[in-house]
Amino acid sequence: MSLIPSIEFLDATKEFNRLLESLSPGPYSEEWFAQPQTEAWNALREGGWLLAGGAGSRDEELTNLLELAEVWGQHLIPLPFSATLCLMRWANSSDQPSVSPLTLAVPTAGGSAIAPFANIRGVEVVCDVELGLTLSAGKGTSPDIFAPSMPIAVVDRASIGPQEWLCTSIALFAAEAVGAARQCHNRALAYSFERSAYQQVIGSFQAIHHMAANMYRDLELAKSASLWAANAGDLEEALRAGTMAAELARSVAQKSIQVHGGIGFTWELGLHWYLRHVMAVESFFRHISLEHMREM
Amino acid sequence: MLLTLNSPEAESYRRQIRDWLNKSVPEPWLNRSQEMLSSDEELDLKRNWGYSLYEAGYAGLTWPTVFGGQGLGPIEEFIFYEESAKAGAPESLDTLGKYLAGPAIMQYGTDGQKVRFLPPILAGREIWCEGYSEPDGGSDLASASTTALRGRDEDDYLVNGRKIWTSWGHIADRCYLLAKTSRELPHHHNLSVFLFNMRQPNVEVRRIRQITGDATFNEVTFENALATRDELLGVENGGWSLVGLTGPYRRIRFALNGLRQYGQLYALIEQLSNCTRESHLESIANSFQDRLETFRWHLMRLVELQANDREWYGPAAILRLTFSELAQEVTEVGLTAQCTEHDDYWRDRFLHCRSETIAGGTSEIQRNVIATSVLKMPRFGQVVRSPTLDSKSSGE
């Protein structure tokens, strides 16, 4: 597959971005994250974005979908968009229809299973990827809401299906992390142009130049690592690549906080939502048990 | 020309390269860790490798066919370098000719210069060095004080001054020389580039011994050395724009440097994995393998951006920084690997890699370039307005 998105698709992602901006006006707050996102899901469905990967069409360019997931990651709408994209792509097209929010469940080392967003009302956990069978919605328990944009809940059992679907989903979650990091990078740059100290904008200080360069380097490499994940030969490789992308994305987010100084460390600025989202992706990858996956 | 790396055509090309490399990489080079090569033997071997590449049609893969190249694209070049790294092939001596002087001559040279200089570069028959840095200039190339001046109504220039850190200057036939051709004109507008003949009596080359004990770079002193009018590249005092190159040639240079860096990292990290197997450092070596693989995917993405005429400069600008600092980290771990068989190797590589964050512009300069050229951040003291950031797209 090509490693760069098509020009036409890039144009489409701009439209997608505009939609997401209208759906998540910000600033983010715990109250906002707690609201039902029915309107947002309907807008995604009506815009045709949930079928962007082509229902049942596994040959669609995954690179394009990564671009979409990256744009999604720049906003923090608590919905399983990437998981749904992936599952729609892998499920049999004849069974696709409702386009409910879908998520996947993976086995953990402790023998249990976890699924992002499974605690959210209306989200269905897919149990058989190829057949499109789903468990009842909203059955996840004990959710970890460290990142409210990506809560992770405990569910009864892991999804089953060919390994490739999980590789695809790892790549898409990695791309989400890249998107969150890109937002942090852009916000740090914008802040460095506005904030003054010693009668200079801080963006003119060499120390900030060097931090910004490091952020940019890590962001670029994170994007490339997400492409590696999308092209991985097996699950183990996809996890290595996805983890690399998420680690690099975290590096960008934490540097962004440093550029912002004291305000970056506060709850009220809101940069931490992005950092937390990236850390949730990292944590999700870390909990996937390859050993248990192989047994399935 | 290939547009994507994952295609049957690309795979077929890869097999062709692999077959040729398997039968062509010289045995003494592959066995050099057991049977050390002398400096002269290594020099000869690398020179001969340049001839072999030319004879097999692998020299100048991305050079246009009109100049004797293969007219291929960055993806073919990527495949060639990746397979070369895996096959442990040597690097030829003529890199500065092929990647700097050659492309610059194609772009700015006269017809006569193209005919005179390009064929021997491609064939590996003339070795080039780069005359940029000066003892007092550091990374500020525009402050060059070496002069190339001519009297009124005279055609030829007399060159006086000193250049330093001139890699391969002691064996070079020609130098891509940056010199001041006007005492009156301001900075950046007073420089010219010469395709300078190193084989003349008024050029003194002093080899500089490096911390590794080798002496691959030099200090070059010019005392009334001659540069002819025919050796002036482009227009007089227009040399600054020739330093970085522009257009497709600049693209080729960036990508090729990245590919060479990948080859070096590959060799280092493979060796580290061998030295740390089943030791407490094995997981660290594995993490370096992952970083190498990320670098590889980044390069592949870069060459596809280039092959498809997309914006590529930003992704390319991080290559050197990424490579140089990773290489240093790897050698630091190698030093502590307690692999007695390769202790000498790691000490040598550790010392050698100190140069990677200095040569060609220090890491600090690299970061400044990314900040100002890619991210458009203001320089200190500059009055700024906030740029309009396209905050939602990756810009690809």
The predicted-structure confidence for B175-233, as pLDDT tens digits, reads as follows: 999 999 999 999 889 999 999 999 999 999 999 999 988 888 899 999 999 999 999 99
Asked whether the beta carbons of residue A223 and residue B3 sit closer than 8 angstroms, the reply is no
The Cα–Cα gap between A63 and B99 comes to 31
User: What's the pLDDT score for residue A135?
Assistant: 72
Q: Are residues B263 and B307 in the same domain?
A: yes
**CB contacts, 8 Å: A10 with chain B:** 393, 396
Phi, psi of B177 (to 5 degrees): -100, 125
Domain CATH for B12: 1.10.540.10
**Chain B contact set for A248 (CB, 8 A):** 294
Q: Residue A220 in contact with residue B298, Cβ under 8 Å?
A: yes
Same domain? For B332 and B288 the reply is: yes
Q: What domains are there in chain A, each with its CATH number?
A: 7-161 (no CATH), 164-295 (1.20.140.10)
Search chain B and give the residue with CA nearest A200: B381
Q: Residues B135, B50: one domain? A: no
Write down the pLDDT at residue A58.
Answer: 54
Asked whether residue B123 is domain-assigned, the answer is no
- Containing structural domain, residue B232: 128-239
Judge contact between A146 and A279, C-beta under 8 A. yes
**Chain B residues within an 8 Å CB radius of A5:** 396
On whether residue B120 sits in a domain, the answer given is no
Shared-domain flag, residues B263 and B354 = yes
Nearest CA to CA, how far is B269 from chain A (Å)? 17
Among partner residues B4, B301, B318, which is closest to A216 by beta-carbon distance?
B318
Nearest CB partner across the interface for B293, out of A187, A203, A228: A228
Rounded Cα distance between B375 and B379, Å, is 12
> Chain A: nearest CA to B254, how far in angstroms?
16
Domain with B315 in it: what CATH number? Answer: 1.20.140.10
Please give the residue that has the higher pLDDT: either A157 or A219: A219
Distance CA A63, CA A223 (A): 11
Structure tokens at B262: 């990948």
The predicted structure's pLDDT at residue B1: 75
Residue B292 resides in a domain: yes
CB B102 within 8 A of CB B141: no
Domain boundary among B177, B210, B239: B239
> Last residue of some domain: B181, B214, B239?
B239
Answer yes or no: do B235 and B251 share one domain: no
A205 touches chain B (CB under 8 A): yes
- Residue of B318, B364, B379 lying closest to A217 (CB–CB): B318
For residue B112, being part of any structural domain is answered with no
Q: What pLDDT was estimated at residue B100?
A: 87
User: B59 lies in a domain?
Assistant: yes
Residue B393 lies in a domain: no
Q: Using CB atoms, which residue from A1, A17, A209 is nearest to B393?
A: A17
CB within 8 Å: B297 and A13:
no
Residues B82 and B156 both lie in one domain: no
The answer to the question of residue B147 being in a domain is: yes
The CA distance from A263 to the nearest CA of chain B, in Å, is 20
Tell which of B239, B255, B281 closes a domain. B239
Residues B66 and B175 reside in one and the same domain: no
Interface ipTM: 0.95
Q: Choose from A76, A201, A202 for mutation: most chain B CBs within 10 A.
A: A201
Q: What is the CATH number of the domain that holds B191?
A: 2.40.110.10
B316-374 residue pLDDT tens: 999 999 999 999 999 999 999 989 988 988 998 999 999 999 987 899 999 999 999 99
- A225-261 pLDDT, tens per residue? 999 999 999 999 999 999 999 999 999 999 999 999 9
Contact B4 A2 (CB under 8 A): yes
A196 in contact with chain B, both atoms CB, cutoff 8 A = no
pLDDT at B84 over 70: yes
Most B CBs within 10 Å, among A16, A23, A71, A221, to test the B interface: A221
Torsion of CA B359, B364, B365, B366, to 10 degrees: 80
Q: What pLDDT shows up at residue A57?
A: 58
pLDDT greater than 60 at residue B307: yes
Shared domain for B133 and B171, answered yes or no, is: yes
Selected residues 267-306 of chain B with any CB under 8 Å from a CB in chain A: 290-291, 293-295, 297-298, 300-301, 304-305
More confident call, B93 vs B377: B377
Cβ <8 Å between B378 and A221: no
Contact status of A14 with chain B (Cβ, < 8 Å): yes
**Mean pLDDT, residues A151-172:** 91
Q: Averaged over B291-300, what is the pLDDT?
A: 95
Q: Considering its fold, how many domains does chain B have in total?
A: 3
Number of H helices, E strands in chain A: 10, 9
Q: Are residues B19 and B85 in the same domain?
A: yes
Residue B393 has pLDDT above 50, yes or no: no
Of residues A254 and B388, the one with the higher pLDDT is A254
B213 lies in the same domain as B162: yes
Q: Does A73 touch chain B (CB under 8 A)?
A: no
Q: Are residues B295 and B334 in the same domain?
A: yes
Q: Does B314 touch chain A (CB under 8 A)?
A: yes
Residues B231, B267 within the same domain? no
pLDDT at residue number B293: 96
What mean pLDDT value characterizes chain B? 89
Span A177-198, pLDDT tens digits: 999 999 999 999 999 999 999 9
Closest CA to B178 of B186, B167, B188: B188
A193 and B387 within 8 Å at the Cβ level: the answer is yes
Q: For residue A212, give the nearest of B371, B384, B389 by CB distance.
A: B371
The span from the CA of B171 to the CA of B327, in Å, is 27
Residue B224 inside a domain? The answer is yes
| Beta strands in B168-274, from DSSP E residues, in sequence order | 174-180, 191-197, 203-208, 217-227, 232-233
